[in-house]
Amino acid sequence: MPPAPDHPMNIFFDVDLTIISEDGTLRPRVPEVFRRLVEDGHKVYLWSGNGIRWPVVDRFGLREWVSDCFFKPLYDHRQALARQGFPVHPDFCVDDYPEVVTEFGGVHVLPYGEPDPGDQEMVRVYETVRAWAG
Ligand SMILES: [Mg+2]
């Protein structure tokens, strides 16, 4: 195990067009990046405006690395989380939609619409987390 990062983070991944394509295939490197983030001392969460996505977690065998799944508020994110008594603070967000990333920080990824085995966005996500976490 590598040493714990200076700043362990709650890392929130969006689902549709962030970790899965339009037709539901998994983005390249997702399992590897989830595993490495957890091994580095971070917590990985999924959230989605389309519901609580354990079925996606299970379809791709990601339970070992995903701490929890949540419904993602669609607007006024901070106020919505406060109102709901949301149990975890998103420290770093990964989303194909810029608003959440602007609000909480993180990486705005290119939308993963069509399956593309050459896609490298998850590598960029991992490297950005490394840079932030120290
Ligand atoms: Mg999305």
Containing H/E element for 66?
strand 66-71
Mean pLDDT computed over 58-77: 95
C-alpha of residue 2 to centroid of ligand 1, in Å: 31
CA of 95 to the centre of ligand 1 (A): 6
Q: Letter for the amino acid at 33?
A: V
Return the DSSP state at 70. Answer: E
Residue 133 parent element (H or E): helix 121-133
CB 47 within 8 A of CB 69: yes
Q: Which two tokens stand for residue 130?
A: 């490394």
Angstrom distance (rounded) from CA 34 to CA 17: 17
Which of 17, 22, 41 is CA-nearest to residue 30?
17
Residue 1: per-residue pLDDT: 47
Chain segment 77-119, per-residue pLDDT in tens: 999 999 988 999 999 999 999 999 999 999 999 999 999 999 9
Cα of 55 from ligand 1 centre, angstroms: 16
Please, are residues 51 and 14 in contact by the beta-carbon 8 Å criterion?
Answer: no
